[in-house]
Structure 1
Amino acid sequence: MPDRIPAEHTVIFDLDGTLIDPFEGITQSIRYALHEMGRPAPLASELTWCIGPPLFDSFATLLGGTSVASRGDIEEAIRLYRVRFSHVGIYECQLYSGIPETLEELANQGFSLLVATSKPHVYALPIVEHLEVGQWFQHVYGAEMDGTRRDKGALLEHVLAKERIIGDQTIMIGDRRYDVDGAREVGIRSIGVSFGYAAPGELEAADPDVLVATPREIPAAVMQLLGDAR
């Protein structure tokens, strides 16, 4: 990845459901973990809601809720998930159509691009490099394996501090309410993308500053929010 270059305006991308479609890798790794624990494994098509939020929260729900599932059970499910995901599921993903062109356009316009995902960064960085878009990003940020900064607000606060960037010169782009809520929590504007894994009405209720339907609409939305101040 390139060295950090000074830029007045920064665009932060979520990963799953925003840059990439991770359906196969995530859902099949969840099913593997549940099967290994002797628990019922929903169909992959019934697990799309698990794409986006922290894995701990998804398994807590799948195992009956935090009032039923012990922390030990949830952590064991995550461990088993990672057995499959770290070797197979990590590469069962693909870029959304139009993403490479979108990243190139934004970079050529002078925006600094980052990734911020609740997925552990030890997975996020190899995915970005494997899909050959790493050259467009200054840094890739994610949660720690122990769950530290799995909350999007906490992660974005960390990113702003590490990058020494200003909130009103920064945009968060994501497909779930967690991205919009996290951006609002740290005082930055947001663009919601409806081509990801949000439930019907989820993004509208979260109320991002702009909502787009395709990756190729992103540059115009970024310019709408940041262009006048450049």
Structure 2
Amino acid sequence: MNNTTENTALDTVIWDFNGTLLDDLELTIQTINQVLAENGVPPVDTHRHKSTFRFPVIDYYRDIGLRTSDEAFSTVSERYHELYMSRVSECSLYDGIPEVLAALEHRGTRQFVLSALNQTMLTSCIASLDLSDRFEAVYGLSDIMGRSKVVRGSELVRDFGIDPRRVLYIGDTNHDVEVASELGFTAVAVSWGHQHARNFDSRVKAVANHPSEILSCLS
């Protein structure tokens, strides 16, 4: 793990979901390529996806060739999520994640999920993975447009009396680093998700290359 700072007194972990906990990279690429094909746009490979994926998702869609007017973006977002949710049950947690979740629970670490996935979809995914009891709460967005998680993150902090200085926020994109910076969390990025590690924002405090490395961030 590449670590740029020491973390102390961190007793709360907030996880991103897609690409951080859930191994959905292959499904995401297959799904977006089906949407691209339906719109007459060439497919993306893993390298291009991880080089261009970002939030808000509308910018990613624009970069890979989809139309992003209000109506067009709404249509492709609905189609993408229809296809994705029809197959998300094929996905599992990344290797090593179940052990980390269990270890954190054993330590008494508070755990939450903050995701750009729609709240209803997120709750369904968490339940299908039998993870509901692992987290105090899971917070998703109210729509499927993949916008910023900052507002929902601030609501999570408020609703559960969380001290931001004691939070380790773990995600796989620069938006996760931005959320952490905005809300006063310590950010750890993971290299196994939807973004190339070399593209992470300089504000990230550490880059984990395997889930087991996350535990050392709290020691």
The alignment's TM-score, normalised by the length of structure 2, stands at 0.84
Question: Deviations 1:1-44 (Å, cap 9, x if unpaired)?
Answer: xxxxxxx9321001122112112321222122222233333346
Aligned pair in 2 of structure 1 residues 159, 51: CA closer, same or farther (>3 Å)?
farther
- Structure 1 distance, partners of 2:31, 2:49, is 11
Deviation at 1:198?
Answer: 2.3
- Structure 2 distance, partners of 1:130, 1:49, is 30
Answer yes or no: is 1:22 the counterpart of 2:20. no
The aligned amino acid for 1:212 is: A
Task: Flag structure 2 segments of 5+ consecutive residues without an equivalent.
Answer: 1-9
Partner residue, 1:175: 172
Partner residue, 1:112: 110
Q: Does the 8 A contact of 2:189 with 2:204 survive in 1?
A: yes
Task: Give secondary structure in 1 for the equivalent of 2:86.
Answer: coil
Task: Flag structure 1 segments of 5+ consecutive residues without an equivalent.
Answer: 1-7, 224-230
Partner residue, 1:70: 69
- Structure 2 distance, partners of 1:126, 1:166, is 28
- Structure 1 distance, partners of 2:52, 2:119, is 18
Partner residue, 2:40: 38
Aligned pair in 2 of structure 1 residues 91, 24: CA closer, same or farther (>3 Å)?
farther
Task: Give secondary structure in 2 for the equivalent of 1:116.
Answer: strand
Q: Does the 8 A contact of 1:117 with 1:124 survive in 2?
A: yes
Percent identity between matched residues is 25
Deviation at 1:52?
Answer: 5.8
Q: Does the 8 A contact of 2:92 with 2:129 survive in 1?
A: yes
Matched ranges for 1:73-222 at <5 A: 73-88=72-87, 90-145=88-143, 147=145, 150-203=147-200, 205-222=201-218
Give the aligned length: 210
The aligned amino acid for 2:84 is: F
Higher RCO structure, 1 or 2 (CA under 8 Å, sep 6+):
2
Aligned pair in 2 of structure 1 residues 114, 200: CA closer, same or farther (>3 Å)?
closer
- Say what the alpha-carbon RMSD is for the aligned residues: 2.4
The alignment's TM-score, normalised by the length of structure 1, stands at 0.80
Q: Which runs of 4+ in 1 moved over 4 A?
A: 49-52
